Amino acid sequence: MNSEVAHIDINEKWCKGCGICIAFCPAKVLVAREDGKAAVANIEACTRCGLCELRCPDYAISVGGKQHASTN
């Protein structure tokens, strides 16, 4: 499905560790660090669906790569 591995940027200064992106990522790409903030654990599984971006209350996560889903 992935012609190109995605790239996810997490702005750790803005992330408040609410866990929404982690809980609802359909591909289980993200995990919580010890301080609760999000971290990428399984980038190969990312489908670039963009749901993490849409649901992040803090604009702290950004998915890069071709066919950027959230602008479709």
Partner 1 sequence: MSVKELVERYCRTSKLPHIWCPGCGNGIIMGAVMRALDKADIDQDKTVIVSGIGCSSRAPGYMNFDTLHTTHGRALAYATGVKMANPDLNVVVLTGDGDCSAIGGNHLIHAARRNINLTVVVFNNSIYGMTGGQYSPLTPTHSYATTAPYGSIDRNFDLCKLVQAAGGTYVARGTTYHTRQLVDQIVAGLGHNGFSFIEVITQCPMYFGRKNKFPSAVDMLKWQQEHAVPVKAAAKMTSEQLAGKFLIGELYHEEAPEYTAVYEKEVIAKARGEVK
Q: Which residues bind partner 1 (CB under 8 A)?
A: 9, 13-14, 16-20, 23-24, 51, 53-62, 64, 68, 70-71
Rank residues 2 and 16 by Cβ distance to partner 1 and give the closer one: 16
Rank residues 17 and 27 by Cβ distance to partner 1 and give the closer one: 17
In contact, 65 and 20? CB cutoff 8 Å: no
Backbone angles phi, psi at 53, to 5 degrees: -65, -45
N residues, the chain: 72
Rank residues 45 and 62 by Cβ distance to partner 1 and give the closer one: 62
